[in-house]
């Protein structure tokens, strides 16, 4: 109810384009596309010296893996101790990746 009232108030006072812009900012600043995620991701890659923490591969494209899953542990999403650098091959071998893949195919 409160969100609806705020939305209507914004719509009236700022106009449709401004409301769309606000909704876009909320959407893009809350998840994996947020500035916070991009900053933490880069910090993890640097901490791990751009090296896969499983096989030791150096250089190339790396993924930052959530040891405890993004969806099940939202409080740990941006916690560096819950994150590790993995190459694509090693990331695909993790249980959480296999689970996500089975749910999204």
Tens-digit pLDDT profile for residues 67-105: 998 888 999 999 999 999 999 999 999 987 766 666 676
| Closest by Cα among 60, 57, 65, 61 to 93 | 65
User: Is the CB of residue 93 less than 8 Å from the CB of residue 56?
Assistant: no
Residue linked to tokens 């409080």: 75
Say whether pLDDT at 43 is over 90: yes
What are the structure tokens assigned to 58, written together?
């150096």
Q: pLDDT over 70 for what percent of the chain?
A: 65
CB 44: neighbour CB atoms within 10 A?
Answer: 19
Backbone angles phi, psi at 77, to 5 degrees: -55, -40
């Amino acid at each position: 109810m409160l969100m609806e009232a705020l939305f209507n108030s914004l719509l009236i006072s700022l106009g449709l384009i401004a409301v769309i812009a606000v909704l876009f900012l909320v959407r893009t600043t809350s998840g994996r596309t947020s500035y916070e995620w991009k900053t933490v991701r880069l910090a993890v890659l640097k901490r791990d010296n751009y090296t896969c923490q499983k096989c030791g591969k150096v250089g190339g494209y790396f993924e930052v893996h959530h040891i405890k899953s993004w969806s099940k542990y939202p409080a740990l999403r941006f916690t560096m101790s819950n994150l590790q650098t993995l190459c694509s091959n090693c990331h695909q071998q993790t249980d959480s990746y296999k689970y996500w893949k089975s749910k999204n195919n």
